[in-house]
Amino acid sequence: MTESTFNLITMRFLRKRSLALAAVGIVCLFCLTAGDAHAQSSAPAAGVELSAAPENPQANSATVATQGITFADALQRARANNPQLQAAITALGLAHEDLVQSRAAMLPNVTYNMSAIYTQPTHSNDPNVTPQIFIANNGVHEYLAQGNVHQSLSLQNFADYSRASAAQAVARAKSEIALRGLAVTVAQAFYGFLAAQHKYEAVQRANEEAQRFLGISQKLEQGGEVAHSDVIKAQLQAHQQQKDLREAELAKNKTRLDLAVLLFPNFNENFTVVDDLTALDPLPSLDEITAAGSRNNPDLRAAQASLQQAGRQVIGAWGGVLPSISVDYWYGIDTSRFATRVDGVNTLGHAAAATLQLPIWSWGANFSKVKQANLQKRQAAIELSAAQRTLLAEMRNFYEEAQAARAELDLLSQSVQLATESLRLINLRYQGGESTVLEVVDAQNTLTTATNAYSDGLVRFRVATANIQTLTGKF
């Protein structure tokens, strides 16, 4: 076929195709409007960032080591490296592509087909007749060059699109659940490391105090003011503090390694963190948290989207019972020679076909699918109700936990101050011969215990706050 002939076929096909597309445009208008509405309703929430670009730890190691990592920086780094979060983000991307594909199934598609069919002829006594062996074929030589516009309309297509939209909403909610859960994990690791540092410093001071007290007791023994048993007790206390110091250093190094695994794609210990453990934000009221949880809870949104998805599944199941329609439009050539004109006749033309498919008998399979879909919808409704009750219980539980931790911090801080003052006074009394070595050792241990309890209380409040934010978002 010549180039001009091919161009002529293409131009005429495009003109004819516009008529066919106009015919199905009214039907597609509803599809596109529904698609835009679903796309807007399933758009990501403002301010929610689900992924971060991977970093080059070698390029940033010097900066990390000198400037330090804040909690916000740690959370941002963990987002890029956490496999569970990335898996949830991948699932969201797959759900979005399913939505694109289901929307495309509702819209007309255009294809261009070219084929040549040769059929073995048979010999005939009549020279004007050249019959072929396969009676289904139109001639010995048959050439097709046609464009085809195809549109299928069924309840199943619309239900599939709606179900894919709901599935995308479920995947988005689950990705946000993973993101907020990661915040709790990072809070535990980040502030656990800071608490371990504080405990290590407290044990260091206790060790120095034990060594100083050992020296005092030895001097007093040399002056005949205390018995040798005091020196022995001071030595035992010094040995215990040295042991505690090694254990505290081990705990600090372990929490540092745990944090490094979360922060960096490649193992890196060359970093420092910004110590904001004692910089506490005030808690909102319970009413504010309840209102925020009702609006922003991803578990509740996931349950609601799952119920919507199950409802669309019911509609799709009914699509197997109701009739469906398909429309086809062809334009091109179907001739015995590959040309637009044969013996002076224009061979370019068009054809159209509409098909109505009505399910008659399927041995109950179609209605069985409807029953299955209704059972799944019922289960989704039960899970939504359970999610609503669980949300209210967890918000109250996490809030009371955070409130108790915040109130106890004041008492723990006062305990540290009182234990510090008590140790100072008992040391003075011991040097003046008014207290025993057991009182000094007990005061040292009390100060260490109070300091560690204060650090644990700070971590408890931070984690409790992070748990609340898994339900409400940031406040």
DSSP one-letter string for 265-282: SS------B---TT-PPP
Q: Residue 34: pLDDT above 70? A: no
Which region, left, alpha or beta, applies to residue 349 given φ > 0 means left and ψ of -120 to 50 means alpha? Answer: beta
Q: Residue 44: pLDDT above 90? A: no
SS3 of 473, please? coil
Q: Residue type for 42, please? A: S
Q: What would the pLDDT profile of 7-31 be if each residue is shown by its tens digit?
A: 444 445 444 444 444 444 433 433 3
| CA–CA gap between residue 184 and residue 151 (Å, rounded) | 50
pLDDT score at 57: 43
pLDDT score at 23: 41
Q: What's the rounded mean pLDDT across residues 265-270?
A: 85
pTM listed for this prediction: 0.71
Residue 121 is given by DSSP the state: B
Q: Which residue has the higher pLDDT, 56 or 316?
A: 316
Nearest to 107 by CA among 13, 14, 21: 21
Nearest to 195 by CA among 409, 401, 403: 409
Tokens representing residue 457 in the block: 């209380």
| CA–CA gap between residue 371 and residue 321 (Å, rounded) | 12
pLDDT score at 364: 87
Per-residue b or e along 119-152, where b marks 16 or more CB atoms closer than 10 Å to that residue's CB? beeeeeeeeeeeebeeeeeebbbbbbbbbbbbbb
Q: What's the rounded mean pLDDT across residues 198-210?
A: 93
Q: Residue 123: pLDDT above 50? A: yes
CATH of domain 3-44+109-472: 1.20.1600.10
- Whose tokens are 């609340």? That residue is 468
Q: Residue 284: pLDDT above 60? A: yes
Q: Which residue has the higher pLDDT, 79 or 41?
A: 79
Nearest to 229 by CA among 9, 436, 456, 458: 436
Q: Which residue has the higher pLDDT, 136 or 274?
A: 274
Q: Which long-range contacts (CB under 8 A, 24 or more apart) does 29-36 make?
A: 31/103, 31/106, 31/107, 31/158, 31/161, 32/107, 34/158, 34/161, 34/162, 35/103, 35/106, 35/161
pLDDT score at 330: 92
pLDDT band, very low/low/confident/very high, at 319 (cuts 50, 70, 90): confident
Q: What would the pLDDT profile of 230-262 be if each residue is shown by its tens digit?
A: 899 999 999 999 999 999 999 999 999 999 999
Q: What would the pLDDT profile of 411-454 be if each residue is shown by its tens digit?
A: 999 999 999 999 999 989 988 888 888 999 999 999 999 999 99
pLDDT score at 398: 92
Q: Residue type for 225, please? A: E
pLDDT score at 8: 46
pLDDT score at 125: 67
Tokens representing residue 240 in the block: 């215990």
Q: What would the pLDDT profile of 68-105 be if each residue is shown by its tens digit?
A: 899 999 999 999 889 999 999 999 999 999 999 999 98
First to last CA, the chain: 71
Q: Cβ of 332: how many Cβ atoms within 10 Å?
A: 25
Provide φ and ψ at 116, rounded to 5°: -130, 130
Residues linked to residue 341 through DSSP beta bridges, in sequence order: 346
Averaged confidence pLDDT in the chain: 83
Q: What's the rounded mean pLDDT across residues 149-164?
A: 88
pLDDT score at 130: 58
Q: What percent of the chain has pLDDT over 90?
A: 48
Query: What burial class does residue 20 get, using C-beta atoms within 10 Å of its C-beta: 0-12 exposed, 13-18 middle, 19+ buried?
Result: buried
DSSP one-letter string for 452-467: HHHHHHHHHHHHHHHH
- Whose tokens are 């699109």? That residue is 161
Q: Residue 229: pLDDT above 70? A: yes
Q: What's the rounded mean pLDDT across residues 264-284?
A: 88
DSSP one-letter string for 361-403: --TTHHHHHHHHHHHHHHHHHHHHHHHHHHHHHHHHHHHHHHH
| CA–CA gap between residue 211 and residue 441 (Å, rounded) | 12
Tokens representing residue 450 in the block: 């109070």
| CA–CA gap between residue 192 and residue 225 (Å, rounded) | 45
Q: What would the pLDDT profile of 352-400 be if each residue is shown by its tens digit?
A: 999 998 888 888 888 998 999 999 999 999 999 999 999 999 999 999 9
pLDDT score at 41: 40
**CA 332 and chain centroid, separation:** 50
Nearest to 468 by CA among 411, 398, 371, 417: 398
Signed CA dihedral, 176, 177, 183, 186: sign only = negative
DSSP one-letter string for 178-209: HHHHHHHHHHHHHHHHHHHHHHHHHHHHHHHH
pLDDT score at 45: 37
HSE value, Cβ hemisphere, 13 Å, CA-based, for 273: 29
Residue 226 is given by DSSP the state: S
pLDDT score at 433: 85
